[in-house]
Structure 1
Amino acid sequence: MKFVALYDGDCLLCQRSKVKSQKLDWLEKVNWLSLQEYEREGRKPSFEAADLRRELHLLDDCGRVYKGFYAMRKLLLQFPLTIIPALLLYVPFASFIGAPVYRWIAKNRFKWMGKECSNGSCSL
């Protein structure tokens, strides 16, 4: 199954995450596409652009959309080096800790990245 990972192309943290993930994607299971490219292609997402600027979105072949923590754990399953850690994110109740931690990191990324986002998207 091939996935499309949608990210905010104006966010430095998102760009860095994409580059690191691509290095792990030896089997080329994920196609990375910025929200900006997605919109330029005339596609109409089934979610708000502001939501994507807050968290990673992963689309599968069946049209399902995974967001935030759920997208990250599904993404980590696609890379040979991260399969075992990703499986730990599927243990019962892992999402009770993982989802808030993911949201906290995403919410505070602007503080860590400084004012390097070209349009302030990291501040959402």
Structure 2
Amino acid sequence: MSDATGKAAWTFYYDGDCGFCTLSVRILATADLFGRVKWTAFQELPEPPQGLTWEDLDAAAYLVVAPSVSLPSGTGRQSRLYRGYYAIRMLTLRLPPLFPLAPLLWLPGVNKLGEAAYAWVAANRYRISIRCRLKAGR
């Protein structure tokens, strides 16, 4: 999942059939200046990643962090899964243009707001895509 430089040690799974999701990932991938995240539409997978189901992947974006990557809290030897808002929050630690947002997303109370905002967007992502005329594309 990663090489000696740590590239692609993080994998972000998203809904490739959602125009809003696809556009969001294109923007995030642009912020991935060093190519450290592998961006994968879950529809391209032959089977779900370990610990996830197709239903999980259809409900939210997921970030899988390989055990070779050092995290602030220490993760041991197993991959870690981050869902929805928490996946986005973790990306602020990996994508240099998003670094300034990282401290804000760890402030007390922000998790509840972030979870609610993510849940609303996830539930309405197809409506948002249609309304904004965003085409899906993997």
TM-score by length of 2: 0.74
| Aligned counterparts, 1:1-124, within 5 A | 1=6, 2-38=9-45, 40=46, 42=47, 44-62=49-67, 63-114=79-130
For structure 2, the residue ranges without an aligned partner over 5 or more in a row are 1-5, 68-78
> Which has a greater percent of helix?
1
What percentage of residue pairs aligned between the two structures are identical?
A: 29
CA contact (8 A) 1:12 1:117 kept: yes
RMSD (Å), alpha carbons: 2.0
Does the CA-based 8 Å contact 1:12-1:113 persist in structure 2? yes
SS at match of 1:31: strand
Q: Which runs of 4+ in 1 moved over 6 A?
A: 115-118
Q: CA deviation at 1:81?
A: 1.1
Contact 1:77 1:87 in 2 (8 A): no
The answer for unaligned runs of 5 or more in structure 1 is 119-124
What is the DSSP-based 3-state SS (H/G/I as helix, E as strand, rest coil) of the residue aligned with 2:66?
Answer: coil
For the residues of structure 1 that align with 2:30 and 2:49, how far apart are their CA atoms? 29
Q: What is the CA–CA distance in structure 2 between the aligned matches of 1:6 and 1:96, rounded to whole Å?
A: 22
SS in 1 for 2:114: helix
Q: How many residues in Structure 1 have an aligned counterpart in Structure 2? A: 116
Deviation at 1:76, TM superposition (A): 2.2
SS in 2 for 1:23: helix
